[in-house]
A and B are shown apart, each in its own frame.
Chain A
């Protein structure tokens, strides 16, 4: 059974810093991995989708990597801003789509 873990559960960093969020999964036989952002009281917004054949995807200040063999993905956020404060969730897709519990990120002005 696929399990997805996100560590840390919460993170606070000063504005301007680069940061890395982690996602690990137990079964490497996945179709893809997707990173989402969720603001309080809102739905999930798709940030990046990495197919199983890809190693990374980039969008603006965001870069997501995927290492299937080790069951890990990272989301790199460059030059963090207060507007980046949100919960970030990863989801892996095999026969089902399984979500982690998310990392609550707080960027300190």
Chain B
């Protein structure tokens, strides 16, 4: 069974440029999360989806970040325009159960460097 797939693994851009990250969750997992992880820190939630509905986006900086999960399967996280402070690892995770009740599975992450 394939795990959570993310792309790209690495992205280097200049500030003010746009960037997008893609995530394909484990087949059948209706719950999808996007996390941000800074060096030496634990992951911090950006947004949680139940199917195609964003049920928790309270930590998503909506002035520059957006996310979508149009068909309730794969998801895209976009930053426009990127700032220097956005340099971090963006992690996608999925679960077969709702609202944090089930086991969480992570992808390898997308490492963003903003110059």
Residues of A within 8 A of B (CB): 4, 31-32, 34, 36, 41-46, 49, 89, 91, 93-97, 99-102
* Residues 93-114 of chain B, each 1 if its beta carbon lies under 8 Å from chain A, else 0: 1000001110111111101000
Query: Which candidate, B38-46, B70-78, B80-88, is the interface stretch facing chain A?
Result: B38-46
Set of chain B residues within 8 Å of A42, measured between Cβ atoms: 108-109
Looking at the assembled complex, report how far the CB atom of A50 sits from the nearest CB atom of chain B, in whole angstroms: 11
When the two chains form the complex, which single residue of A45, A95, A99, A102 contacts B99, counting CB atoms closer than 8 Å?
Answer: A95
Against A, the Cβ 8 Å flags (1 = close, 0 = not) of B1-34 are 0001010000000000000000000000000010
Chain A to chain B contacts (Cβ below 8 Å), 24 pairs: A34-B104, A36-B106, A42-B109, A43-B4, A43-B91, A43-B107, A43-B109, A44-B43, A44-B91, A44-B93, A45-B106, A46-B103, A46-B106, A49-B103, A89-B42, A89-B43, A94-B100, A95-B99, A96-B45, A96-B100, A97-B33, A97-B45, A97-B100, A100-B42
Complex interface: chain B residues within 8 A of A36 (CB): 106
12 additional A-B residue pairs with CB within 8 Å, beyond A31-B100, A44-B104, A46-B104: A41-B111, A43-B6, A43-B91, A43-B106, A43-B107, A43-B109, A49-B103, A89-B42, A93-B101, A97-B45, A101-B41, A102-B42
A102 to B72, CA, bound (A): 31
Q: Does B56 belong to the interface (CB within 8 Å)? A: yes
Prevailing SS type, chain B contact patch: loop
| Given known A42-B108, A43-B109, A97-B33, contact A34–B103 (CB-CB < 8 A) | yes
Question: How many pairs of A and B residues are in contact by the CB < 8 Å rule?
Answer: 55
Q: Is the CB of A95 within 8 A of B100?
A: yes
Bound CA span A97–B99, Å = 9
- A44 & B45 in contact (Cβ 8 Å cutoff): no
A31 partner residues in chain B, CB cutoff 8 A? 99-101
